[in-house]
Structure 1
Amino acid sequence: MTDQPLPDLTPFDAPGSSLAPSVLWKAFRVLGSFSHSRRVLTLAQIMRRSELPKSTTHRVLAMLMEVGAVEQHDGGYRVGLRMFTLGALPPEVALRDAAMVHLEELHRVTGQTLHLAILRGGEAVYLEKLRSRKGDPSPAVVGGRLPAHCTAIGKAMLAFSEERGVADALGGPLHRRTAHSLKSAEDVRGQLAVIRTDGFAVDREEAVEGLACVAVPVLAQHRAVAAVSVGFAASAGSGHVLINALRQAAGAISRSLVSVSGLQPLAAGG
């Protein structure tokens, strides 16, 4: 998967946005230049990835260094510990922490690539990924996003979301990642009805050629707060043999969330 700046920055970059010329926008462009595979960048690399002029990039970096958001490292720059501290504050971090022990056990049992994601604006946002010991064809990266309707993990969450959220996700043209991606909102809604009955979701090469996934939602008060999926080679079969283990993990995560947040879970099977 091509490593791109964080897609979350798009609203700041929208034409006519009142934030577009601000220092805040420029700071996020610089911070968005870093990624899991590009943790240390030179000034020239940050300029290219942020698409900011050299003088602006240098000035913004100096400001970010002053507040500890960026640090100098090995002839370049990296994200500072101040950002690590701030990154630990969102509730999604507590969700990931509660899920990790169960994900690790599921990974031990399956040996396949696992994902934990939440739903935001019609997209699956990945909070964690444990890679397969047999190779990893999955395009998902931690912190990255994929269209929910193209992924089992996204469809599992859409199926157990409020109608308003589903309508928002399916309100515009649907981006198709492969020839197998669903073509219309009606097609997606048809699958969501099946998922609500079955309690699990499937995608076969809808996000990337050659990859299949099965997913189960993590439910609280009858709604999906997250989902867990297993990815595997599409040629390896249907993946139905993994569903019970997924249900057990999703149910355990839901119960763990009750202990840390007081949420009332519903069994992952529906």
Structure 2
Amino acid sequence: IEAAFPATAQSETTVRHVAHRDRIVITRESITPDTRSIRQRTLQSALDAASMFTDPRVSVESVDEAGIEIGYRIAFEKSMNAGVEGFQLKVEEALVSLAGPHESGRNWTTDWYPERGYLVMRLVTAMPSRVDHPLAVVDENLRHLPYATGAADRIMYWDVSTSSNKPHCLIVGPTGGGKTSVIRTLLTEAARRGVPFVGVDPKMIELDGLDGYPGCGAIVYDALRAAMFVRALHTEMMARNAYIHQMKIEGSQLPLMIAV
């Protein structure tokens, strides 16, 4: 059989024994070449092996001028999970890891259309390592304090208005992660908008140099004075609450102050 039907890359030979007819059937069929890229095959095989979607199908959504794939459409059976943000983030993280770094240096992102039963993986320009502080006031709402530039040049801001449901802000991260830069950006933006600030800095690092800055009420470094200062802030808060109830006014009518 091997001599009569030598194996080739374009065809596949199968041998079947038909016992009741005392016959051997030899069949040669052409192999349809798999023209999918390694990245597309990797995404498809990973989705087939996982249980995230039912009947996932990966197709090329778009290519660039050189014919390099820059977008994929992943179709799936509609489900409740597809509309959950936590599920979407988990899937996006896995897909980006499987797709790997792109030749162009751009980053993968995903657009979800759960009501239509598919998502699109596409490339976006890599985030710059540094963005200069804008000189102009970037938002007409003076209670929006910008602190970063996100994807697609979107300005991220902290809403300190009394109508906001996020009047408090917690900044966490490792050493060198940029916490001090975010704090200083928020405070200088607050000062530009006429919102005064006060601070407690026992490390004498984060708020160093802001004492005497326009809009800065005080920066306290000593531990004992810091405790007294926090107490004074609590007294101020209680006095404001009492004043609001007594005068029957809205909190937005009182001047803002940021404590760090």
TM-score, normalised relative to structure 1: 0.24
Name whichever structure is richer in helix by fraction. 1
Q: Which has the larger radius of gyration?
A: 2
Q: Which structure would you say has the larger RCO, counting Cα contacts within 8 Å and 6 or more residues apart?
A: 1
TM-score, normalised relative to structure 2: 0.24
